[in-house]
Structure 1
Amino acid sequence: MISLKLQSPSDTMASLAHRARQLRLSKNLTQEGLATRAGVSLGTLKLFERTGKAGFETVVKIAYALEAEREFEALFPPSQITRIEDVVEKAPRKRGRRK
């Protein structure tokens, strides 16, 4: 199977950081103000905005401080169960098969 991805993980992180910065500016927040609201250090926020590098917990804290947490709901959506038979017939996988 060939996968054609237009963005690398680094591109995605940089794009996310850019959008977070734009949202911060649209809310008229300073980096220091956002860092305080998010409960992260100013250096961590600056590094995130500049490079896109941050731990997942940090990114979630920043998103909550920017009131953008709803976007995470679509990241790994829960499986949709429509019938009770689906639950009874097939137990959810606990491990993947591929390496």
Structure 2
Amino acid sequence: MLDFGFATADEIARELARRLKAARLFQGMQQPELAARAGVSVGTVKALENKGQSTIASLIRVVHALGLTDDLQNAFVLRVHSIKDMEKAEQAERKRAPRRSRGTSDAGHPAKQ
């Protein structure tokens, strides 16, 4: 199984696509049937399964049509391990990220002048 912590974005997309295809095949469903259940085109299902390309909305529709919505429940849940993390989590509810000081670049290094 692919370790997402060491994978590129493209590798993760292909792995998720492979897993969705395996789930569809396990359920004995053909691509047109999945597309109809998900309310997307067959081309969308093919692009998702073959290239790992999809909009988030289409991905969620396909996941829902496959009955895998519960698998999304813990995706991107903020994990808090300390009091400092709790404080940061509370601040994360802000609408924007904090501004960078004028003396640093986007990468956090001193800006070139």
User: TM-score by structure 1 length?
Assistant: 0.77
2:76 partner SS: coil
Q: CA RMSD in A?
A: 2.2
The answer to whether structure 1 residue 48 and structure 2 residue 45 are counterparts is no
Q: 1:17 is aligned with what amino acid?
A: A
**Structure 1 residue runs of 4 or more that deviate by more than 3 Å after TM superposition:** none
* Structure 2 equivalent of residue 62 of structure 1: 62
Q: Looking at both structures, which has the greater relative contact order when contacts are Cα pairs under 8 Å and sequence separation is at least 6?
A: 1
Alignment of 1:1-99 (within 5 A): 5-77=5-77, 92-97=93-98, 99=106
1:93 partner SS: coil
**Distance (whole Å) between structure 2 residues aligned to residue 67 and residue 48 of structure 1:** 17
List runs of 5+ in structure 1 lacking aligned partners: 81-85
List runs of 5+ in structure 2 lacking aligned partners: 81-85, 101-105, 107-113
How many residue pairs match? The answer is 88
**Distance (whole Å) between structure 1 residues aligned to residue 71 and residue 59 of structure 2:** 12
**Distance (whole Å) between structure 1 residues aligned to residue 67 and residue 49 of structure 2:** 17
Identity of aligned residues (%): 29
Residue-by-residue CA offset, 1:47-75 (whole Å, 9 max, x unaligned)? 11100000000000000000001121111
The structure with more radius of gyration: 2
